Amino acid sequence: MSCILVVGAASATTNAASDPTIENPDRIAATATAYVAKHNPWKSMDHRIEVDRLDPRTRLARCKTSLEAFLPPGGTIRRRTTVGVRCSGPSPWKIYVPVTVAAYTKVMVANRPIGPGASISQDSVSWVERDVSTLSYGYLPSLKGQGGLRARRSIPQGAVITANMVEANAIVHKGQRISLRSDSGSISVTMSGIALQDGAINSRIPVRNLSSGRRLEGVVESSEVVVLR
């Protein structure tokens, strides 16, 4: 469930806000907030949207139509985004306001140092609430996956676990007898083979057909099956 809080709403002087000929800065802030609330990538999480205050010298004609928010060409909503607000009424104008989004969810962090190649289990991590809008490398949502995960490199205690820190554990091992399957439309042929290197789920590895002796390549489908491709 999301929770949206507008903090530091764009506001100028009291006189500007009460002058019927001048656009109310709170209306500008609300328009920018509603747009970001609808389009930000963290809208399913608890999040906070903050619109910077307008320069108190800003004087825009009161818009007689609904205000419209937009992003500059090529723009995307990030932690810190500039959002445009425009009036298409008889006295048109547009203004750009800085908007900041903070989004909170629980992420995995290493609860102890993890060495290169070490398996990562539920005992290796803790779930801690963080502002994920600040995590430029993202975060790993779970440890689910056939075969489990291991560290690509050293992971210090307290580090948020990201996809580039881990790799899948091998579920097929060099020298292991496996089933080789070749699919062609509705026809599927299975033969005996042997793995020529370790392989994780969905990885491509060399194999040998035990009947023909041919060296082939396939994708690891399970701990017992490699699909020839």
Question: Global pTM?
Answer: 0.67
More confident call, 9 vs 128:
128
Domain boundaries, the chain: 6-102, 104-168, 170-228
In this prediction, residue 180 has a pLDDT band, given cuts at 50, 70 and 90, of very high
pLDDT (mean) for 215-227:
93
Q: What is the mean pLDDT of residues 184-213?
A: 92
Alpha helices in 1-126 (DSSP H): 14-18, 25-39
* Radius of gyration (C-alpha) of the chain in whole angstroms: 28
Q: Specify the pLDDT at position 121.
A: 87
Model confidence band, residue 57 (pLDDT cutoffs 50, 70, 90): confident
- Would you say 178 and 198 are in contact if contact means Cβ atoms under 8 Å apart? no
CATH architecture of 170-228: Roll (2.30)
At 72-84, the pLDDT tens digits run 888 899 999 999 9
Spatial distance between the Cα atoms of 76 and 118, rounded to a whole number of angstroms: 37
Residue 145 φ/ψ region, left for φ over 0, alpha for ψ in the -120 to 50 degree band, beta for the rest: left
CA distance 59 to 104: 36
Other beta carbons within 10 angstroms of residue 50's beta carbon come to 19
pLDDT above 70 covers a percentage of the chain that reads 91
Question: What CATH number has the domain spanning 104-168?
Answer: 3.90.1210.10
What is the tens place of the pLDDT at every residue in 79-119?
A: 999 999 999 978 899 999 999 999 999 999 999 999 998 98
> How would residue 207 be classed by pLDDT, with cut points 50, 70 and 90?
very high
Which of the four pLDDT bands, split at 50, 70 and 90, describes residue 8?
low
